[in-house]
Structure 1
Amino acid sequence: MKRLTSLFVLFWVSTLAVAAVQPPEALELEPQLEQRFATNLATRFLTNWHYKDTRLDDDLSSRIFDKYIELLDPNRNYFLASDIEGFERYRDNLDDALRHSDLQPAYDVFNVYVNRVRERIDYSVDAVHQPMDFTVDEYYEFDRSEASWAESRAELDELWRKRVKNDYLRLLLTDKEPEAIVETLEERYANMTRRINELKTEDVFQFFMNAFAQSIEPHTSYLSPRTSENFEISMKLSLEGIGALLGRVSEYTTIASVVPGGPADQDGRLQAGDRIIAVGQENDGKLVDVIGWRIDDVVQLIRGPKGSVVRLEVLPEDVSISGPSTVIDIVRNEVKLEEQAAKSRVLEVPVEESEEPVRIGVIDLPVFYLDFNGRAQNRPDYRSSTRDVRRLIGELKEQGVAGLVIDLRDNGGGSLLEATTLTGLFIDKGPVVQVRNSNGRISLEEDVDAGMAWDGPLAVLVNRYSASASEIFAAAIQDYGRGLVIGEPTFGKGTVQSLLDLDDYAPSSDSPSMGQLKITMAQFFRVNGGSTQNRGVIPDIRFPSAGDPAEYGESSLDNALPWSSIDPARYQPAGDLSRLVAVAENRFEGRIVNDEEYNWLLADIEEYNRKSGRTRVSLLESEARAEMEREEERLKNRKAKNGEAESLVENTEIPDGSEFDNLTDEEAAEDDDENDGPDLLLREAAEIVADVAELESDMELLNRQFSQLPPNGKKGAAPQMN
């Protein structure tokens, strides 16, 4: 390690010498010395430590080139064909540039991109004031990802004329007045200008390093210092600050919401809608004006160690811009981010010929979280998903539940350790997942503690966005025969990432922070030997889903590792659930065939599939209004029957230009008025678990109903190799 560090120190010194003689370039953004040093480190790690054998050659260079262009302009709205032709000189040379830590090609491309974005914004500001005729039969092509690059500015102007016209039409359909529409769009385009002007050299570096990392494998990435900090916060579900979510309105950073129980909430003076105009610290008393700042820069000023004081100068929501401001001193403290923590509820499932419903417990787990530092320091109150779920199981037992549903929908994963320990709550003991590293060595992650927190009926509810640790857990429950997996096939991410802190290799402790690499260093396999990679976990009982499975999930990602298998581990299944699955599935299908809400779901899926293939939208006002009225009528009829008008699948939305492509670096938090009742799929999962509870308690009933199934209904879904 000392030899490696000395080489990096030599590189650092040599770059200082080179930089001293380089003439300043007339570019808006330039690479920094610490970024060249970070490039040197990242290149070594990515080409030597990655699970996938990686060679820094012309082939990889070409993939990096394509990925970088794609990350910058995925919809081909900004670059001209002549720009791409000019960039082609870099296609086979980026490998050489990375070897020499030469970032200039990346910055050259990015600066052209910035200029092109500014040109498009200027055009849009002018176009919104031009006359628009919505009786002309023409279309706005909102998906140009596969289109050819525009050959001229005139061609781009035509594309953007239609984009602005679409922006205007979408607002016109809401019955806004023309003056209000123009004002709204002017503000939208001003926000685009603001965001492009806020870009910094580290933003360019992050784009390029991620193009490099993702050209190897889709789950390898570079995390900037700020991204690294936010990742750590999300894993331990806490931070030290004031407990407020920030948004942005025009030039002002605003309080989007106050975290319940946090310092700001307890203080009581800071309210949602207040505008922060300056931030100060207790040690110097100076207030720093933050009007027009990026949100992440404001966040950095507000965050701080527990017990310290931050001073906020705010304009209350009901005070005009010229009105008096207020200075609020708040003592920072630890803020728990409870919205990501495990939560429980009890659903009551009606039972025929019984006055008493069956009580089914539901545990919603949005992420597999673990406070790594708290665990390492053996803090008694450190947060982990396993600890929280164990506590919730105890509470649900006290409420007399007959079965459990673990809801992992949209859970993208998290800690591998937590996937193992959480599985241990539902199996006696044994291996949970097999892990193979880049050398081919296979290790086992095991539950070594005998006993179960819950040994009763169990289902794991998943969807296409359940990934990684979620798939480890679901696969283990399926392979052990401990419960049913219900829902959609999962995402298919079967790889393990490790974080490498580049600062650990800095020449000195006071060197600028360089961020981290999230690098794929292993692949995990089920205890039955199959992989979740690329194929995901196939549910025992499948719910209908929208879209083509080949168009989402791991299999749709560039450079994804293929599916593979190894020998099974030695484990003892709890039982064969094939008969139970077959009967429960038959009951489910019989129950929902005439269910109105289920049929609405099928109709929504059909509508989604119809729209999902579209790449353009009509700019005829009459046609747009007719489609809007058809949708409103459909939902109105539904609401009249059931009191709910919401679509049951995520609709394909037509972009209205409000998004600044991939450069939006913050999202305003919005209040989400959720329905307290269970959604259709959760309700059905609870009913399936209630069926399982009945069938497991009456084996004679199970065998009789299984024998009555038609031959093609007896396939079951026993644990099996993928």
Structure 2
Amino acid sequence: MLFHNTIYMFKNFLVCLAFISVVACGSKPRVIIEEVGVNLKPSLQHEVIAKEVVGILENYSYKKVSASDSISNIVYDNLIKTLDEGKNYLLQSDVDEFQVYRNSISQDFKNGDLSSAFHIFNTYNKRSLEVLQYALAQIDATHDLTKEESYVNYRDKLNWFKSDAELKEQWRKRVKFDLLSLKLTSAEGKDESAKHKETLKKRYTNLISQAKQTNSNDAFQLIMSAYTNAIDPHTTYYNPSFAQRFNEDMSNTLEGIGARLQMENEMVTIKEIIAGGPAFKDKSLKIDDRIIGVAQGDGEFEDIIGWRLDAAVAKIKGKKGTVVRLKILPAGQDISVQPAIVKLTRDKIVIEEESAKKTIKTVKGEDGKNYRVGVITLPKFYIDFEAYRKRDPNYKSTTRDVRLILDTLNRENVDAVVLDLRNNGGGSLQEAIELTGLFIEKGPVVQVKDTRGQIEIHQDEDSNVAWKGPFGVIINRYSASASEIFAGAIQDYGRGVILGSSSYGKGTVQSAVDMSRFISSVNKLKLKAAGETKDADTPNGAPEFGQINVTIAKFYRINGSSTQHKGVDPDITFPTQFTAEKYGESSEPAALPWDQIKSTNFNKIGDLKTINTQLSTKHTARMKNSAEYKFLLEDIEEFTKNFNSRTPISLSETKLKKERDENKTKNRNRLNKLLELHNMPLWKEGQPQPKVEFDFILGESLNVMKDYISLKK
């Protein structure tokens, strides 16, 4: 069984040319898909797989959701949103036409009928190619850069375009903004208009070229994702190519920058920083940063706005030791800001070896005494399954590594230990249980309820305790799955203080199943007769019919509370810009709900309620006089304001340049304020931007642990 803890959705915007013929058939038009140009149609294999996927989700998944009107509504909305979330391509008339599928699209899938979904997809493709051709032609048009007009880049909260003229007006402004944005990045006084036009022509020509290469497998992948995500955000169908890529990603090594990427509003967006990789070590990149350009070594930047995700990834990834430069729009900032340049040396990231690491920090108490706190950073719950199965006595695992670290910290007589689980997306369930055992004596750690409603209690069977002193665990919104099991158990036993912000809320278990297990022999014969037993695009070694990662169970804490949806709430809370409404399981409309089952029989180690109240009081008092805390709150406020903003962008060169210069100055002053707080040299105009690695959350967590030590005494 594969415990799939990936906390992002693999999305891609795919475009291609289409010509559609629609014939009325009762109250619902039946789409007749013709072999014209690159118009796409589903294969017999796609229809068979779609039917089987619906059957799996109706009968075998944890949720067991029937294809119905209500699910059809969600599938329909998912498909439209995935294709054109920013409302930059489709017309209101297109959306009105699609409405006839709203209440029936899931039932169509159940019958193996994908015509309505492919019709929506092809209509979108047709619109996208039309506007891209128009945009390409607009590059050489005359644009008045003195005229005061505005452009809205992300139109998700606006209405659909009422006419083709309105759609083209949006794209005229987009081209004008792109040219203006490129101009403002040029060296002062240097006329590079010809170069900018060439850059933009390459961007749109590349988009058109990629569009025409889109095939029916690409369309089918996106369509099935719209269906599975309507059931559960962690249930996913992967076509053969995507399945192979997913399995390699889960089990082998990667070479690149060490980040998981997703396409959002036609920009490659960072959704996870992989521990141990170049991006993790460099600390320049943040979640939700957008990559708009890529350069190999010291070469020219290549614009990647609007690229297919796989094409962009191919440019960003590369061999170990090679250098890549990325042009970044920072998270929470408008697209009109001056891009930052990040230079990284690619490396090999071995997923299984994102090892636990320790440092010892010294913090001064109110009594004047210096306390030493051992900090263990754990990026994921890992185990070398192959070596474990072969009974290798030296197999590598989270628990073994942390036990050795704790032995060292015991010998060095530290006063407390903190386990940092921030951004730890999970991993091995077995390791979460055994790691808990290093801090408690024998007892239950987690409960798992399967599709039949049967509950299994997973126990720690080892009575040895590796650390008995004061203990703290730091979590944040990206601590998920196994991290939540561990933190929840520590909290329920009263074994330590949980610090940070509420965790992700992923309390479900997935199993990866080869779709060939569900394809009947009759259907296999039909596919063979039709010459569709193996698609030409299927890589060698990939599952012939793809794979489905389906939710089969749910996690519960030993107190009976589910970790699903709510996650784990800390005892000492720190503010965060990653809110429950925007990030985590609670932001997913189709996520399984929180619920509760019977508590297990377990013996609490201690009751920290009183101590936690005292710690919170001391923490709050300290924050009232903390300049760093005030700085953090201001940053969060600014991030939230920019993230939620849909403010129109001025297309006047003078005004936009002024706004960009003001933002540049504001960002420099902001960074200098932080540098000043830490008595560091200020950042001056013309100097490279300094890397700032101050960790306020860890620093204040150490202060809380210092209070904890004093109160325990």
Q: What TM-score do you get using the length of structure 1 for normalisation?
A: 0.72
1:295-444 correspondence to structure 2 within 5 Å? 336-337=350-351, 340-351=354-365, 354=368, 357-380=370-393, 382-444=395-457
Measured in 2, the distance between the counterparts of 1:503 and 1:382 equals 33
Aligned to 1:688: 704
> Are 2:91 and 1:77 aligned?
no
**1:488 to 2:497 alignment:** no
Contact 1:366–1:410, Cα closer than 8 Å, also in 2: yes
- The yes-or-no answer on 1:541 pairing with 2:572 is yes
Partner of 1:54: 65
Among candidates 182, 185, 188, match of residue 203 of structure 2: 188
Deviations 1:246-279 (A, max 9, x none): 999xxxxxxxxxx999xxxxxxxxx97499xxxx
Aligned CA RMSD, in angstroms, stands at 4.0
Contact 2:90 2:160 in 1 (8 A): yes
Query: Is the alpha carbon distance of 1:364 and 1:316 closer, same or farther for their aligned partners in structure 2, counting shifts above 3 Å?
Result: closer
Distance 1:404 1:630, change over 3 A: farther
AA in 1 matched with 2:490? I
In 1, distance between residues paired with 2:238 and 2:701?
A: 38
Alpha-carbon spacing, 1:399–1:633, altered in 2? closer, same or farther (3 Å):
farther
The counterpart of 2:610, out of the listed 579, 582, 590, is 579
Q: Residue 490 of structure 2 aligns with which residue?
A: 477
Give, as a single letter, the amino acid of the residue that structure 2 aligns with 1:513.
Answer: E
Taking structure 1 as reference, are residues 585 and 109 closer, same or farther at Cα in structure 2, changes over 3 Å only? same
1:203 has 2:214 as partner: no
Match of 2:638 among 607, 612, 617: 607
Q: How much has 1:101 moved relative to structure 2?
A: 2.2
From 145, 151, 167, give the equivalent of 2:162: 151
| Cα 1:521/1:578, change in 2 over 3 Å | same
Letter in 2 for 1:467: A
Deviations 1:480-524 (A, max 9, x none): 111111111222222222222224446589856222212122222
AA in 1 matched with 2:581: A
- State whether residues 135 and 171 of structure 2, in contact with CA within 8 Å, keep that contact through their aligned partners in structure 1: yes
Deviations, residues 533-577 of structure 1 (Å, cap 9, x unaligned): 222221111112237543433233212222221221111111011
* 1:415, distance to aligned residue in structure 2 (A): 3.2
* Amino acid in the other structure paired with 2:358: S
8 Å Cα contact 1:58-1:93 kept in structure 2: yes
CA contact (8 A) 1:638 1:644 kept: no
Following the alignment from structure 1 to structure 2, what is the Cα–Cα distance between the partners of residues 396 and 233? 36
Q: How many residues align?
A: 587
1:229 Cα deviation (Å)?
3.9
* Residue from 32, 36, 58 that aligns with 2:43: 32
Is the 2:256–2:318 Cα contact (8 Å) retained in structure 1?
A: no
Find 1:128's aligned residue among 117, 139, 150.
139
CA, structure 1 residues 407+673, in 2 after alignment: closer, same or farther (shift >3 Å)? farther
User: Match for 1:591: what amino acid?
Assistant: R
- How big is the shift at 1:45? 0.9
Structure 1 range deviating more: 388-397 or 98-107:
388-397
Q: Could you tell me whether the CA contact under 8 Å between 1:491 and 1:534 is conserved in 2?
A: yes
Instruction: Tell me which residue corresponds to 1:217.
Output: 232
2:358·2:376 contact (CA, 8 Å) conserved in 1?
yes
Output the CA distance in 1 between the equivalents of 2:45 and 2:676.
55
Question: What secondary structure does 1:546 align onto?
Answer: coil
- 2:471 and 2:518 map into 1 onto residues whose CA distance is 47
Partner SS for 2:372? strand
Q: Deviations over 1:24-71 (max 9, x none)?
A: 733533333443333233222111012223112233223212211111
SS of the aligned residue for 2:581 comes to helix
Per mean C-alpha deviation after superposition, the further-off stretch among 407-416 and 208-217 is 407-416
**1:487-636 superposed matches below 5 A:** 487-505=500-518, 513-546=544-577, 549-619=580-650, 620-636=652-668
| 1:160 matched residue in structure 2 | 171
Looking at structure 2, the residues matched to 357 and 598 of structure 1 have their Cα atoms a distance apart, in angstroms, of 23
Please name the residue that 1:643 is paired with: 675
Q: Using the TM superposition, give the Cα deviation of residue 84 of structure 1 relative to its aligned residue in structure 2, in angstroms.
A: 2.2
CA distance in 2, matches of 1:337, 1:550: 30
1:539/1:415 CA distance change after superposition, 3 Å? same
CA change 1:235–1:316 in 2 (3 A) is closer
Partner of 1:456: helix, strand, or coil? coil
Q: Distance in 2 between matches of 1:645 and 1:125?
A: 49
Residue identity opposite 1:25 in structure 2: E
Give 1:362's aligned amino acid.
Answer: V
> In the aligned structure 2, how far is the partner of 1:113 from the partner of 1:107?
10
Q: For the structure 1 residues 113 and 577, does the alpha-carbon distance in structure 2 shift closer, same or farther, using more than 3 Å as the test?
A: same
User: Letter of the aligned partner of 1:414 in structure 2?
Assistant: G
Distance 1:445 1:376, change over 3 A: same
Cα deviation digits, residues 164-212 of structure 1 (max 9, x gap): 3333344344345542433433333344334434433322121111111
Q: How far does residue 245 in structure 1 lie from its aligned partner after superposition?
A: 6.0
> Using a 3 Å threshold, how does the CA distance of structure 1 residues 272 and 144 change in structure 2: closer, same or farther?
closer
Q: Which runs of 5+ in 2 are unaligned?
A: 1-31, 262-275, 279-294, 300-307, 325-347, 535-542, 679-688
1:639·1:645 contact (CA, 8 Å) conserved in 2? no
Match of 1:99 in 2: 110
Alpha carbons 1:370, 1:383 under 8 Å: kept: yes
Q: State percent identity of aligned pairs.
A: 37
Letter in 2 for 1:695: L
* Alpha-carbon distance change, 593 to 384 in structure 1, aligned in 2, over 3 angstroms: same
Distance 2:47 2:482 in 1: 34
Residue 23 and residue 520 in structure 1: after superposition, are their counterparts in 2 closer, same or farther (change >3 A)? closer
Q: Spell out, residue by residue over 1:601-644, the C-alpha distance to the aligned partner (whole angstroms, 9 max, x if none).
A: 11112222333332133314455444444444444444445537
Instruction: Give me the whole-angstrom Cα distance separating, in 2, the residues matched to 1:584 and 1:413.
Output: 28
